[in-house]
Chains A and B, each alone.
Chain A
Amino acid sequence: MTAIEELVEKSQLTTKPDMKSGDTVRVHVKVREGDKERIQIFEGIVIGMHRGGIRASFTVRKVSFGQGVERIFPLHSPTIAKVDIVRSAQVRRAKLYFLRNLKGKAARMKETKRTTT
C-alpha cells in the first residue's frame, strides 16, 4: 500500500488547521453556481474527526432555526477553501455524538484557551 500512499495520495493531501472535537469552526466551502464560484460558510461544532489518509473527514454540527444540522466534510477536499477555528471547548471524548440529544443550555461547553503552535 505504500505506493498508493506515497505516489497517489500524498500529492492530494492539504494542510488544514489542527482542529479537534469540541472546536467551533467556520468552514469556507466553495460553491459553484453556473460558471460563478462563491464561498459559503458553515459554522458549527466539530463533533468528530475521522482518520484515514486521503479519506479523512470531519463532522460539523450546528443548530439552525432550532433544527440540528450536521455536515460531513472530506478533510482534503479541494472545495474547502479554509477552516477557521473560532473557539475551542474542553471535551473529554473524541466523538461528541451525545450533543445530538442535548439542546440549549445543556449543550454548552466550557471554553479552553488554545495554545497556538
Chain B
Amino acid sequence: MNMNPYLPLKAEIVDIVQETTDSELDVKTYALKLGGGAKMEFMPGQFVELSAPGVGEAPFGFASNPLRNDTIEISIKRTGMVTDAIHSLEIGDSIFIRGPFGNTFPVKGLEGSDILFIAGGLGLAPLRPLITYIFEEENRAKYGKIQMLIAARTPTDFIFFRDYAEWRKIKDVEITLTIDNEVPNWAERVGFPHNLVTEMSFDLEKTYAVLCGPPIMIKAVSQKLMEMGMPQDRILTTLEMRMTCGVGNCGKCNIGHQYVCVDGPVFSLAELEGMPDEY
C-alpha cells in the first residue's frame, strides 16, 4: 500500500472471460497484471477500488486465489456507469486499481472446521479467493469437509462454471448446483438455497457457513441455518455497500460505529445482529 490511499496503480487487462451473457446479467471476469511486475498482496474477503479514468471508481471483491497473485481476477457485472466503461475495455487496455481494503475471512479460525459455502449468482466471486486458498495443496489438509451450494437463476447464469469439475476432483468436496426453475436437460437441483440447505447434512458443532449472494438470499439462508441450530458466530458473510474511499473516511459505508470498508466487508451473523439494519 502506498502512502496515499487514494492514488491508484496502473494495471493491464491480460485476460477477459465472459461468464454470463444474459442482457440482465452480463458478467465478465478480468485478469489484471500490475505495472512494473508489482504484485498486490491480499487475503480472502478483501476488495479493491477499480477505476475507469474519466468515468469513475467502484469497489469490487477479489475473485482469485490470493496465493497466485501474478495476476488478480475480478468479476464485474455490467450495472452502471463505471461497470459499463470497464465492460467496454479489451485485453491490453489499462485499468487503475487501489487496495487491498477491508478485513478478511478468518482463514486461521476456519482451520479444523468443515465449511459450507452457499453462493447465489455473482456471490460466488468474493468467495472464490477463500475456496481456492483452501484448495491449495499446502492448505487442503488444514480444513475439513467442504460443501458448496451454488445457486443461479438459470443454467447459463453460473459463474466460474469451468472450476466446478476441478473442484469436484478434490477430496471431501461436494458441490450442489441449483437453479430457480425447472428447465429441460437439467440434471442438478431446482429451488432456492434456503429451501435446499435443510436437506444438506453437516455437523453443526464443527461447520462454518460462508454465504454470499443477494441480500434476500443471505437473510433467508441465515434464518434457516439458525433454525437448524447453527450458532450466529459460525455464519459468515460479506457485505456490499457504496464505498468511495475504502479507508473509513468518506462516510458512505458507515453502519453504526463500524465502516464496512475497514471493519468489514466480512461479518459474522452475530456481528450483524449487533449492528443497525442499514445494509
Co-assembled chains A and B: no
B-side interface residues toward A, CB under 8 Å?
none
A-side interface residues toward B, CB under 8 Å?
none
